[in-house]
Chain A
């Protein structure tokens, strides 16, 4: 059954590409490939969306302010620009936070300079300065971040100069820094992630050598944004194993976490796309190795924990980890046993993010659900094909206008956590450092991989293949559901979650079981209507 479905995908390109103007069709053809784990094909990714394609992608500002810096509770974020950008990024992502002893949480505030006509004509730097003064007087925050929107870049306001000026004016106890994350700058959110990573490194990481926490094994989890409490679930699990979570980038994060992140001994990278830059910089400057990790899926979580155990080479830790896995897996198995009879044999499609479209395939596999098609919204080729292709990625104008910072060994604090020999030995035992295999290594032969799926292509996927569940975001949700297919939001989890770690896997099993068992879809056809629409709905009659 699944084999037939995968086979039927073979004609998809012929079905969709014709509709586009010739040049556009040619370009889109390169972004639609068929999975083959034995010989991974090249896919076009991180290339500018053609105008007039209704895309899932957002802008550089969204990636910088919305994704990476948004989840930090004790930095006051000021959006420098007209009102829209600040309003639309006001609590729209579900990154949760736990207020600590400083009792500060600025996440619910949407500060903006609300630029007007006259600011565009005469410049907005003075207004920005005033806004910074106001934020400072109101909250006396330890840090203020300034985010540039499109017109700021055009009129030439220099947010970095303003930041320096205001630091001098307000004295030494507030750290102020700017981000040149104008929306037009990059191909997608991804440019914003990179810009955010650079500034985090320049202005925060390594500022404080205090070693916080009491546990022996110290790690950071990078690229985990605590949507629906994922980072909480991971933190709880790590603590259970006796592992100190020094910093999360950037779910449930705080200034202290960023500033002391260099005191950890290992970096685990969840969302490779959005944070690999920080991982690299931490290694270069401080000698902390990084490994790709995945806490989405029970098996993946167990695998990740075992990797950490192996890395620290401590039998006590390894035993503790095995004990925790055994205990948690009992609950996971019970939940899976309940869901599997309903979910086995179903099909899914995932088009989301820069890592989730890969990670969530693990959960679907655990549910006996075949992934027919997947793709990222803002991934690069290395997220699809693996980091081995990085040297062959062509640098285009859109990547060139993102600042590249040169990081060198920290003179006093560079301390390789493992020697070259130790790393080699660990690699021989199966650990992989600084590596990511990408999504396609794990996709079945013949499945569809589509980068930057267009709204039109999505509609055709639904129409032609009727997957049992489609995973994307809120912009896609209501369109897909109009067509009678349930959509699971993987940006905000449909206000559910957490889905990370063992507890998250159990939540996900339940939610997907509920989705595929939902009977409302058959009501779309009213009793007085003929059988002609049966085809679109038959999958649900068989539930």
Chain B
């Protein structure tokens, strides 16, 4: 424990450069959200390399077709503006793919030259009012010099809700803004909502579009995605549930002085249509899952189906059974801010102490969120905001965690330390099945818990001089 006590005294030089970043760029997050809209083709307004790199990167994790168009800026468009490219790009996509929705994300290039995407969209539609095939447009402002992929993600969620929600008759339905989670977790959430027999809009739903079965016939746009009708109906729900407490609330450097100007999708709907908004942690662990199911019980007036009560019971039982393997272990966890916050809540339940909590996110809210929720002891935990992997490594080499929990990018640190890495989050490109991994609610927590226990067991077994078969 002494080592842990000393942590806050470790003084490390802080670097101006980013050395092995723990964040991706904003248009990637927005593209992901657009893949969660039914019939949508994303288009990145900027240089073609952005679309190519983002496609390539998302594919390394999802291993699925990833059609993202680009307006292919040339030197000429960077000087005279990208209007011509924008119009040509949309026309071209419409002819090839007949999308129902076009999701437009900007880039550092188009934002630097001051492209006004809402104006470009309006201009494009002018004079084509009778065009029955005109797609709907959703846009997100996502220069990569502001925030991370998560800011792009939430910006696009908000952008879609802002432009597609449509007020009508109030309905018995719930909006579920589930954040950046795996397709398998999305499918599980939908099953839960169905079991509660309530109408809902889960957004963004890329559970099919980014985790498709093999095709028996030819598809221009992968199936799946939240139907536009459902997104329209977010304005008519009786409540919203948002996973994640940081969301896009961060004071992104330089961007927003008036923090009230930044709303999450749930807050915006509450503001505009008086829909009660609930912000909860990503439900990993018993406590956070209980809160989520509690909300569902509250809004449906129904008791939790037996199936989930049994899952919860089994989860508690397994915590008890495996407590001896996990208790007292020290972890380094890293990834998106909302992800690491929910992991802290879960790890506290099972007796693992996160000694390094790191995120590339720059909201400035991470530490406060953790402390105010009593999820960590600020005296014994290092919380790193806006962190990169080399800074994490510097600290990890001194305090030597027993286990790493996070995405594939931290593998080299776990290799150097000789401790296991449990892969969660994004990207996972050195193991199969990242998109099929679950970590939410009782069922997903069970899966994650067993993986953590088994990683520790495997480590113990491999490092034992005797080949024990019982551990």
**Residues on A facing B (Cβ under 8 Å):** 19-21, 24, 48-62, 78, 81-90, 92, 108-121, 127, 130-131, 134-135, 149-151, 153-155, 183-185, 397-398, 401, 455-456, 459, 463, 473-475, 477-479, 481-484, 524-525, 529, 533, 536
Contacts and interface: CB of A to CB of B under 8 A. Distances in A.
A88 B21 CA distance: 10
B123 interface: no
Given A87-B25, A524-B214, A130 B16 contact: yes
A456 B96 contact: yes
B67 A54 contact: yes
16 contacts: A19-B95, A21-B91, A21-B92, A49-B48, A52-B71, A53-B69, A55-B70, A84-B25, A108-B20, A110-B18, A114-B21, A117-B143, A183-B50, A478-B59, A479-B65, A533-B217
A110 B19 contact: yes
B88 A397 contact: no
B112 A57 contact: no
Given A21-B95, A61-B49, A83 B75 contact: no
A104 to B, nearest CB: 16
Given A81-B108, A131-B16, A524-B216, A474 B60 contact: yes
A116 B52 contact: no
Contact of A118 (B54, B143, B253): B253
A155 B109 CA distance: 10
Query: Which of A53, A78, A109, A481 has the most B CB atoms < 10 Å from its CB?
Result: A53
B384 interface: no
Contact of A120 (B17, B89, B93, B108): B108
B94 to A, nearest CB: 8
A84 B113 CA distance: 18
B19 A109 contact: yes
Given A83-B23, A459-B218, A463-B218, A55 B63 contact: no
B53 A130 contact: no
A116 B146 contact: yes
Interface in B36-85: 43, 46-57, 59-60, 63-78, 85
Given A52-B93, A184-B74, A109 B20 contact: yes
Given A83-B144, A109-B19, A117-B254, A183 B75 contact: no
Contact of A116 (B53, B59, B67, B145): B145
B215 interface: yes
Nearest to B390: A109
Given A48-B72, A118-B254, A84 B50 contact: yes
Nearest to A51: B89
A56 B70 CA distance: 11
A112 B21 contact: yes
Contacts of B148: 83
A51 B88 contact: yes
B52 A58 contact: yes
B24 interface: yes
A529 B59 CA distance: 30
Contact of A477 (B23, B25, B59, B97): B59
Interface residues of B, number: 78
Nearest to B79: A154
Contacts of B440: none
B17 A78 contact: yes
B17 A134 contact: yes
B215 A482 contact: yes
Nearest to A192: B49
Contacts of A149: 108
A475 B66 contact: yes
Contacts of A484: 214-215
Contacts of B146: 116-117
A120 B72 contact: no
B412 interface: yes
A15 to B, nearest CB: 13
B52 A57 contact: yes
Contacts of B46: 150, 184
B255 interface: yes
A52 B43 contact: yes
B86 interface: yes
B28 interface: yes
B52 A113 contact: no
A24 B94 CA distance: 13
A48 B49 contact: no
Contacts of B93: 52
A483 B212 CA distance: 12
Contacts of B77: 184
Contacts of B59: 474-475, 477-478
Interface in B338-378: none
B92 to A, nearest CB: 3
Nearest to A492: B60
B15 interface: yes
Given A474-B56, A475-B52, A483-B218, A82 B108 contact: yes
B144 A127 contact: no
B429 to A, nearest CB: 9
A473 B47 CA distance: 20
Contacts of A53: 69, 72, 92
B144 A82 contact: yes
B218 A84 contact: no
Contacts of A62: 49, 52-53
Given A114-B18, A116-B253, A477-B59, 14 more contacts: A24-B92, A24-B95, A52-B91, A54-B67, A59-B53, A61-B49, A83-B23, A83-B148, A130-B16, A150-B112, A183-B47, A184-B74, A184-B109, A536-B216
